Structure 1
């Protein structure tokens, strides 16, 4: 049966796989690509690792010091972001010839492939995997379903180097049995909140709608409910990056907001400078916690806001993070979204207020 289908492509352990392609002697060895923070020689965290390293317990997010303790054979490489971006751009350019593409990150993309049956979808996905390997010598995993979320879940089911196309019965089974923790956008903290109200599987949300809204808010509740009842239909939307962000490493891990504040303000200053006169209608504060988990909170506005207003909003969002999460903060950042160009002369006369 032909239905509109979405294909999700994940470039398996992308950074580490690129390094293996460029240096084949790394194949078969545990490899981790790292972000070095600069505090000390070994300060920083693993950004991604190959499957040999993962089998040892060296996974994304763990400190470099811990990776070294786990294995003295692991090859630790510095991140080469511009190189990875160049390769990513080439793959995304190819995917854009297949269908409407929404770039989710440097190594993930959704592609709307139109009305296809399962066999046609399978054939198309196989061709995509073949072409990417032919062009870049990189293996990717592909998931196909009738919506973006289930396509991503399908992709996770098949990794690494996998290919999973969900038929109608399998999607129905997902709506009934998939654990909420396996749903994109539901992190460990939110998963624990959901468990607290009796929501373990996706289908459980339909029995706890009122408590769900109280626990996770209206937007997240509607997201889960629409997935559970089969009405979720967020389209694949071409994205043009309209945001700027900056992250700063603290001198030490802490929960003291006054100690974090100057680092947050520095991130805001540098982010506004990168925006080159554009002002945001959306702000995110991102905290990288002591265990490298990421927590963020955001606000949106009806009008662009200036930097002075951003200081206040971001500090309030930081306080919210610290109130809801008891871990210490390692890095802090600010991201400006929905940037609008505002004429400098007008900005002298109008101070945009927060709604």
Structure 2
């Protein structure tokens, strides 16, 4: 049976929530971030994005790109409350909801509660209810699996809907840039480019054995996604186990030269973690040597990291626990957060 999957992605969620609470911000370039040299952008309204401002960007850089931007400090209690209201709308239509973060989720509407005849009608109803009840806009993608639905939801952003019918998958995919495939970051994209792969059509032409030899298990995944194949079901209430970001250096470098990238990766991870309803306890640093040996160091402080600066400081301190020779070179570094817990469970009782 062909599944009917909807991917709903709220438009510029944090910024849109701030514009809803303060009508004076509507139509203006809003940047959700604390000011300061160490602060990063949590979200930017579409008015600010026109100037090149985007999430995870240093706030000082955003201010240079858009000097007249209005900076608003993030209010995650407010965002979580609105996210719960959006989730309640989803639940009117299906119980098969897989949240990815506060502002996006997969819904399996193969059988929906409201008796609507198509997944497209369900997506339209959800978007209308979000707008009518919460004064916010959402984009939606409709397709036969999660991979295609996620691509579709981004197709007509903001405030749009796009449908990929099953009989159009094989004409829709081939012209797409391979960077559209989830998991294809800059490093993988460059490696594929060196293999002559620019589009999904180029990827489809490669043998499975070559992809597995080059990318390991992810090569198998690439082979399937290039053909629109994704058997992963929508899994309700899947708790986040970890959030991480990593990057490969253009050349192998000594440990002493990794600080700048560790800082950038920590900013990305911190920004992503703010979309979670739970709090991470453990900071992880990952390094891969030029000989492909993977090293990890982790630390669980008494209280969870409370800021990007604190996360960065812990990640950098973990670097000091690498005891290899100074001549050792590294090809990859990663920063992560794990050991997620509910916020309430982290608070000590007032009286024992």
Deviation (angstroms), 1:53: 0.7
Deviation (angstroms), 1:284: 6.2
Pair 1:177 & 2:175 matched: yes
SS in 2 for 1:88: helix
Who is 2:43 aligned against?
48
Give yes or no for contact 2:15–2:43 (8 Å, CA) kept in 1: yes
Pair 1:104 & 2:100 matched: yes
Deviation (angstroms), 1:243: 3.0
* Structure-2-length-normalised TM-score: 0.69
Unaligned 5+ runs, structure 2: 246-252, 267-278, 288-293, 301-317, 342-352
Who is 1:157 aligned against?
155
Aligned residue pairs, count? 289
Who is 2:194 aligned against?
196
Who is 1:68 aligned against?
63
Who is 1:211 aligned against?
210
Who is 2:271 aligned against?
none
Deviation (angstroms), 1:115: 5.7
Deviation (angstroms), 1:35: 5.1
Who is 1:328 aligned against?
none
Give yes or no for contact 1:121–1:165 (8 Å, CA) kept in 2: no
SS in 1 for 2:222: helix
Query: What CA distance in whole angstroms lies between the structure 2 residues aligned with 1:227 and 1:191?
Result: 15
Deviation (angstroms), 1:148: 0.4
Query: What CA distance in whole angstroms lies between the structure 1 residues aligned with 2:103 and 2:329?
Result: 28
Query: What CA distance in whole angstroms lies between the structure 1 residues aligned with 2:12 and 2:329?
Result: 30
* Residues 242 and 30 (structure 1), Cα distance of their counterparts in 2 relative to 1, 3 Å cut: closer
CA distances 1:296-330 after superposition (whole Å, capped 9, x unpaired): xxx9xxxxx998xxx79x969xxx995147xxxxx
Give yes or no for contact 1:11–1:139 (8 Å, CA) kept in 2: yes
Pair 1:87 & 2:82 matched: yes
Who is 2:237 aligned against?
239
Deviation (angstroms), 1:55: 1.0
* Residues 13 and 198 (structure 1), Cα distance of their counterparts in 2 relative to 1, 3 Å cut: same
Query: What CA distance in whole angstroms lies between the structure 1 residues aligned with 2:340 and 2:200?
Result: 31
CA distances 1:173-219 after superposition (whole Å, capped 9, x unpaired): 2332222101122222221111111222223233323332233x222
* Residues 50 and 124 (structure 1), Cα distance of their counterparts in 2 relative to 1, 3 Å cut: same
Pair 1:25 & 2:24 matched: yes
* Residues 111 and 286 (structure 1), Cα distance of their counterparts in 2 relative to 1, 3 Å cut: farther
Deviation (angstroms), 1:93: 2.9
CA distances 1:142-201 after superposition (whole Å, capped 9, x unpaired): 000001011011111110000111112432223322221011222222211111112222
CA RMSD in angstroms comes to 4.1
More helix by share: 1
Who is 2:125 aligned against?
127
Give yes or no for contact 2:280–2:339 (8 Å, CA) kept in 1: no
